[in-house]
Chain A
């Protein structure tokens, strides 16, 4: 019994010692970097699907071979989950060192000092800023800070099921109008019984183009660039088109997510970023091609170049290694050969020239971007204020809810503006 009556002081000290040692070990295990001479580990997080994961991992392996003192740990999620996780990590002071990023998030995280200014690293020579196409190196420059480096350029397009459009005999050359497009959808519906479009009413980037074609824009420096009177007719019309079957059955679109309605054969077209056609070709059974954005006046598409980019995070302990990695991913020709047009047409000339597409979807993207650049339709991008990401999500969700018949266009428009106001005020 005496053993059970308590431990002696020595035993207790031992126990305390082991506990402390255990905590120490755990703490050591949490560290991301090595010693000053050993390899440094940086974490790279991005959004996307499995096929992109394989490509990114291949690039990382190549990078580690060329830079044996830098290890890269990767992590990926689907787009919305990626940002939820990142918000939590960043708020907890432990964000990944390098993230995939987009213009919607730049001002938000700049205001919160989350992103690393890459200018000093460029000056030190760790990050090469020469050789970018069409001034893309300035794409993520905000208030004199360089908050990201583009990995590719992309533009909005209408991804189409080539066979269906061909069979319907729809002419979709540059400069076609919204009326031409809609007449084409009706032809497809009546001739082949397929919805001509997945339902574009929730796509913020497309609505931005429509507004720009009419001299407005989705965002201004201060906030929203349009009002209820613009959105109401757009959504009212969309609901009618869903009901008539010209736009896809929204219930079905909903349940196949995250797959695309176009790739699953629920529709013959979808407005999205041109590089998405690579993914659709992998997912779907038909052949997909790109059609230009329809216009109001036969000329102006409102288009601009968007871009996915890589950003460093401000709390990284290894800014030099972060810059080296970003530089590698944006300049190394081998990366372009691995990634192809997965994240858009490569942003640097070296990478652009290194990848000569042989597959149909990539060829189509190359041709599309060359065509719109030649036609001179590209304009500068409109500002995306902090909170734009939440506004985008609300536009998609509320537009979707309305098209499912759960809310009237009037109520939906009111709800959207109320949520947008809250998002822009609280971010």
Chain B
């Protein structure tokens, strides 16, 4: 569609301008001929209609309905009853909700930086020319392709269970602590490990960013006597800061929404002892197991507001640390 519009917009515009010029003062204004673009727009909308319908019925509609539900008591079966802000006050008084906020915040604050650091470190290694480079890139990216799948989480659960690979590995070092899955203090690290392992997507973006850094800057820095660490700190990081910002933003939002891996690794319990009770897991449990859909909707909207606020803060903070080329901002 873009192609059609660009190729025809020129002549249509010229004709319109000519019509305006002709209708000077004192002349009888002739209506401009109906531009051909209208029909094209119609065609465009027709082609877009499945998406528009999908958006209206599957996204916008449910969102508006969910906003309404957030202020009701709705058990999935009986008609929703308006309760005002009760769901929100109940939420703050609920220790399990507070636990879910705690677990999610911890996961975002710890997991995201580690994942990005891993992605950047590997991207820097892969940015250098070496034999088998394409293989390494594909191999490091592969986990993110399968990472979102249920099977990866199941494998993760198997790896970190009692007497499984990780447990036996620990035993080699004389640590007989059992598996991580049943340990409320350890299972969250297994989850963080799973997310870090899926660093492929930010890695590819970092790789693209690293390729854009002009070689001359490194040469100049080297001539000034800057070592590798200094070059990384004073050249690489500022130069890739827009890419870093993009990745931080995306991964933070992504981390807030963690569900599948927590649900599967904990065998659907979000436990043990609520140790993996991430926000969406509690939301799902309240909505579908406890039939408190009004409460779950209120939780969902609060999450949206929280993610919005964090995004706003990140955008605000970027002025201080993101370096754009002149005029690129």
Complex CA gap A304/B179 in Å reads: 39
**A256 close to B273 (CB less than 8 A):** no
Q: How far is the CA of A427 from the CA of B268 in the complex (A)?
A: 22
Q: How far is the CA of A400 from the CA of B43 in the complex (A)?
A: 60
| Cross-chain pairs A/B with CB under 8 angstroms, 29 sampled | A4-B3, A5-B39, A7-B43, A12-B43, A19-B49, A84-B284, A91-B76, A91-B77, A114-B77, A250-B272, A251-B179, A251-B183, A251-B272, A252-B178, A252-B179, A255-B161, A255-B181, A256-B161, A390-B289, A400-B271, A401-B272, A401-B274, A404-B272, A406-B272, A406-B273, A426-B73, A426-B75, A426-B290, A426-B291
Instruction: Name the contact of B184 in the complex, choosing from A7, A78, A112, A406 (C-beta under 8 A).
Output: A406
- Are B288 and A257 interface neighbours, CB within 8 A? no
Q: A258-B267, A400-B272 are in contact. Are A83 and B289 (CB under 8 A)?
A: yes
Which residues from B are CB-within-8-Å of A81? Answer: 268
Q: Which of A120-170 contact B (CB under 8 A)?
A: none
Q: A residues engaging B (CB < 8 A)?
A: 1, 4-7, 12, 15-16, 19, 78, 80-81, 83-84, 87-88, 90-91, 112-114, 249-258, 390, 393, 397, 400-401, 404, 406-407, 415, 423, 426-427
State how many angstroms separate the Cβ of A113 from the closest Cβ of chain B.
Answer: 8
Chain B nearest CB, measured from A27 CB (Å): 15
Chain B residues touching A, range: 35 or more
Chain B's nearest CB lies how many Å from the CB of A235?
14
Rounded to whole Å, the gap between the CB of A82 and the closest CB of chain B is 11
Closest residue of chain A to B167 (Cβ to Cβ) is A255
The answer to whether A400 and B273 have CB atoms under 8 Å apart is yes
Question: Contacts of B24 on A, CB cut-off 8 Å?
Answer: none
* Interface of chain A, main secondary structure: helix
How many residue pairs link A and B with beta carbons under 8 A? The number is 109
Known A-B contacts A12-B43, A401-B272; the reply to A90 vs B77 at CB < 8 A is: yes
Q: Given A5-B8, A87-B76, A404 and B184 touching (CB < 8 A)?
A: yes
- Could you say which residues of chain B place their CB within 8 Å of the CB of A400? 271-273
Taking the nearest CB of chain B, how far is it from the CB of A104, in angstroms?
A: 13
Is B7 a contact of A252 with CB atoms below 8 Å?
no
Contacts of B293 in A (CB 8 A): 91
Residues of B within 8 A of A87 (CB): 76, 288-289, 291
Cross-chain contact A423 with B290 (CB below 8 angstroms)? yes
Smallest Cβ-Cβ distance to B164: which chain A residue: A255
Residues of B within 8 A of A407 (CB): 273
CA distance A415 to B93 in the complex (A): 12
Interface centre among B76, B178, B272, B284 (most CB of A within 10 A): B272
Q: How far is the CB of A417 from chain B (nearest CB, A)?
A: 13
Smallest CB-CB separation from B292: which chain A residue?
A: A426
Least Cβ–Cβ distance between B254 and chain A, in angstroms: 24
Min CB distance A71 to B, Å, is: 28
Please list the 9 inter-chain residue pairs (A to B) with the smallest Cβ-Cβ separation, ordered nearest first: A255-B182, A254-B182, A406-B273, A251-B182, A91-B76, A112-B77, A255-B181, A401-B273, A84-B288
Q: Considering only CB atoms, which chain B residue lies closest to A92 in the complex?
A: B76
Asked if B36 and A254 make an inter-chain contact with CB atoms under 8 angstroms apart, the answer reads no
Q: Is the CB of A6 within 8 A of B40?
A: yes
Q: Hey, what's the 0/1 contact readout for B1-29 against A, CB within 8 Å counting as 1?
A: 00110011000000000000000000000
B39 and A6 within 8 A (CB): yes
Interchain CB contact (< 8 A) of A88 among B39, B288, B292 = B288
Closest chain B residue to A407, Cβ basis: B273
